[in-house]
Amino acid sequence: MSLTKITQKLIGLLIIFLLSSFIIGQYGSITFSWAQDGWASDRQIYLANFQDKYYYPSAVNIIAQDINDTEPKPLDKELKPERDISQGKTTEFPVLLDGKTLFTIKVDGRTTTAEQRADIVTKQIETIAKNYSISVDSIELQDLEEVILITAEDDGQEKILIFGITNDDAKEANQSLNKLANQYAQAIANAIVEYRKVRSSEGLFENIILSVALTLGLVIVIRLIFKLVSITQNFIEARRSNNRGLRIQGLELFSVENESKFLSSLIKFSRLIIVLLLLSFYFDLIFRIFPQTRRFGVQFRRPIYGALKLAFNGFANFLPNLFVIILAVIITYYLIRFCNLFFKAIEQEIISLPGFDQDWAEPTKKIVVILIIASALAIIFPYLPMYNSPAFQGISLLVGALITFGGAATVSNLVGGTVIIYTRAFRLGDLIKTEDHFGFVHEKTILSTRIRTITGEIVTIPNANLMSSSIINYNALERELKQPLMIRTTVTLGYDVPWRKVHQVLLDAAHATENVLEKPAPSVFQTSLDDFYVSYELRAHIPTVKTKLLTTSQLHQNIQDKCNEADIEILSPQYSAIRDGNQNTIPENYLPSDYVPPGFKINGIGKLFNNSQDNG
């Protein structure tokens, strides 16, 4: 529906409303005047004898009687409720005309409560206001010493009682009786004049003009709102090419298109809310302009204003809590920033703490930040809305149950990660060996550790498993003790090979290997003398752990070459015991040119039989 059609419908509704109000107002005035003539004939109060000492009780009795009764009720002091002054509080009850408060009544009468007095006087003033035969100028005061009566006269010069003001009323208002009576009489007269004015033809015409002006103002404001929304949407579309959406690292939460749609929907929703609020205020004002529709205006605005008042009061009551929450968030934010700067300075060795390793800076920062956030949440939660509600408590119980039943393994890994961090077991990039894995540390978190093996596989190990196993760190010696890394390899040879020759061959192989340090010098140890062979261990040092695998491989190659050059076979004694007749395992380029594989040693048959006879 276009804005022009909306405007046309609003103007049409206003015209219908104005015509209806005019008809109701004219017919209502005739009806009320006709009804008042009948009512006044039954309710006129004659004050012929003000000197009668019993008039004051009679006047109070007249004020106390129900508006629908035709005869005064007898005085009955037992019907008057006792006034409760134990709390020291006085309740005020307004006297109204046309929805406006003229004054309030706080004191009970002889037989009526303050609330009943206010209700009776309200009805009496409204009845007089509707009766145009009663002139406002006829309102006067009648002083009876203990009470002052506010009265009026109709065309027949008959007195009509409006209200009786007592000394108790004057004491409660902290004014003299005459001053209070004059004040109330003036308020009643002004209210009746205003009441009749707005219901006159001139008043109705003024109200129509005001209604038309309000309608035009509403249309102009709505047009401006629609125009402003259109300009804003065009601006968003123009800036769309410069937007990159909402991203968290590589994750795209909102694309540029979705972001534009969201902003457009948000603007349209805001426009709808503003227009609805404007319409509610508009109809409230329209209803309040015309006296015949003011009660509808009260019924119309009561739920709207009630909801707005409830929301505003709720927000106002929440403001102290909101201040505490904002203050806690600000303090938490700057504490976290301070922690980042402080631990970054430790990590970069700008600040040094005795006994605090710089590798602890990053994990300690994370732990401290978690503690700061947890403390902030503990402070903020009691100040959140609905903190003590059953829904909030149910969520807390659910979170507690999840942590209790599903957090055992997580807690173990947390403890394991903390222990590994503060025992300085390894760092990122270190070459380590566990019971089942060997490789470089690729990632280290509080829950698990990831290792990149020498075959290029990424293995994730829970920290609880690492804590319960031994860890060999090949980088720790170089980093902490400033000593080169030692590599070792073992060769087993038979007893027929001279050990001095083996030592020399292995040392020559070490010296021929690239990256092997001359100092400390390579060394050979005989680690065991087994049943069939001797175990020789070659030890050498390399400058960095990064070349460990390559240097070890080259060392093995050189050992093979040097042993072959020295005519030393690297084989097991079990193979040597049954090798007669087999080719030598040394490569051909190391063998003499006239080398011939040895044959099998078989004794002659005669010799074999001779040996058998000798045994027999």
Residue 40: which of 137, 144, 162 has the closest Cα?
Answer: 162
Which class for 181: exposed (0-12), middle (13-18), buried (19 or more C-beta within 10 A)?
buried
Determine the pLDDT at residue 29: 42
pLDDT exceeds 90 at position 280: no
Specify the length of the chain in residues: 616
Model pLDDT for residues 325-379, shown as the tens digit of each residue:
999 999 999 999 999 999 888 888 888 888 787 778 888 888 899 899 999 998 9
pLDDT exceeds 70 at position 10: no
Q: Give, for 334, the enclosing helix (H) or strand (E).
A: helix 294-347
Return d(Cα 45, Cα 59) in angstroms, integer: 9
Residue 514: which of 489, 539, 542 has the closest Cα?
Answer: 542
pLDDT exceeds 60 at position 73: no
Q: Scan for tokens 């125009």, then name that residue.
A: 227
**Sheet strands (E) in 466-581:** 472-473, 485-493, 523-529, 534-542
Banded model confidence at residue 30, pLDDT cuts 50, 70, 90? very low
Return d(Cα 350, Cα 342) in angstroms, integer: 9
Per the rule left: phi > 0, alpha: psi between -120 and 50, beta: everything else, 395 is: alpha
Determine the pLDDT at residue 208: 80
What is the mean pLDDT of the segment spanning 519-534? 90
Residue 147: which of 104, 181, 105 has the closest Cα?
Answer: 181
Whether the CB-CB separation of 469 and 453 falls below 8 Å is answered with: no
Cβ-Cβ contacts under 8 Å for 501 (sequence gap 6 or more):
566, 568
Strand partners, 542: 485
Banded model confidence at residue 46, pLDDT cuts 50, 70, 90? very low
Return d(Cα 454, Cα 458) in angstroms, integer: 10
Q: What is the CA radius of gyration of the chain?
A: 53
Residue 546: which of 448, 449, 478 has the closest Cα?
Answer: 478
Angle between helices 201-238 and 177-198 (to 10 degrees): 80
- Tell me: cis bond preceding 573? Omega within 30 of 0 counts: no
Determine the pLDDT at residue 49: 35
Return d(Cα 473, Cα 481) in angstroms, integer: 13
What is the mean pLDDT of the segment spanning 273-284? 84
Strand partners, 431: 440
- Residue 326, amino acid: I
- Residue 128, amino acid: I
Angle between helices 548-565 and 499-511 (to 10 degrees): 130
Query: Which CA distances in Å does 218 have to 11, 21, 213?
Result: 11, 20, 9
Model pLDDT for residues 424-474, shown as the tens digit of each residue:
888 888 888 887 888 899 988 888 899 998 888 899 988 888 888 888 888
pLDDT exceeds 70 at position 501: yes
Domains with residue ranges and CATH for the chain: 1-43+200-246+253-289 (no CATH), 44-198 (no CATH), 412-478 (2.30.30.60), 484-590 (3.30.70.100)
Whether the CB-CB separation of 184 and 163 falls below 8 Å is answered with: yes
Return d(Cα 117, Cα 61) in angstroms, integer: 11
Which is more confidently placed, 302 or 15? 302
Which class for 164: exposed (0-12), middle (13-18), buried (19 or more C-beta within 10 A)?
buried
Q: Give, for 438, the enclosing helix (H) or strand (E).
A: strand 438-444
- Look up residue 518 and give its two tokens: 């001359």
What is the mean pLDDT of the segment spanning 90-95? 81
Buried b (16+ CB within 10 A) or exposed e, 410-428: eebbbebbeebbeeebbee
Determine the pLDDT at residue 556: 95
Residue 421: which of 369, 367, 460 has the closest Cα?
Answer: 367
Strand partners, 432: 439, 473
- Look up residue 299 and give its two tokens: 């019924």
Banded model confidence at residue 490, pLDDT cuts 50, 70, 90? very high
Which is more confidently placed, 385 or 179? 179
Q: Mean pLDDT in the chain?
A: 76
Return d(Cα 540, Cα 559) in angstroms, integer: 13
Per the rule left: phi > 0, alpha: psi between -120 and 50, beta: everything else, 293 is: alpha
Which class for 439: exposed (0-12), middle (13-18), buried (19 or more C-beta within 10 A)?
buried
Collapse the DSSP code of 346 into the 3-class scheme (helix H, G, I; strand E, B; otherwise coil) and give the result.
helix
Return d(Cα 203, Cα 240) in angstroms, integer: 55
Lowest mean pLDDT among 45-59, 80-94, 563-577: 45-59
Return d(Cα 149, Cα 63) in angstroms, integer: 10
Whether the CB-CB separation of 458 and 449 falls below 8 Å is answered with: no
Which class for 189: exposed (0-12), middle (13-18), buried (19 or more C-beta within 10 A)?
middle
Model pLDDT for residues 563-592, shown as the tens digit of each residue:
999 988 887 656 555 555 566 667 777 777
Model pLDDT for residues 228-275, shown as the tens digit of each residue:
988 888 887 777 666 665 555 555 556 667 777 778 888 888 888 888
Banded model confidence at residue 611, pLDDT cuts 50, 70, 90? low
Cβ-Cβ contacts under 8 Å for 291 (sequence gap 6 or more):
25, 98, 195, 198, 199
Whether the CB-CB separation of 61 and 177 falls below 8 Å is answered with: no
Residue 320 CA, chain-centre distance (Å), reads 18
Collapse the DSSP code of 101 into the 3-class scheme (helix H, G, I; strand E, B; otherwise coil) and give the result.
strand
How much of the chain exceeds pLDDT 90, in percent? Answer: 14
Angle between helices 361-380 and 294-347 (to 10 degrees): 160
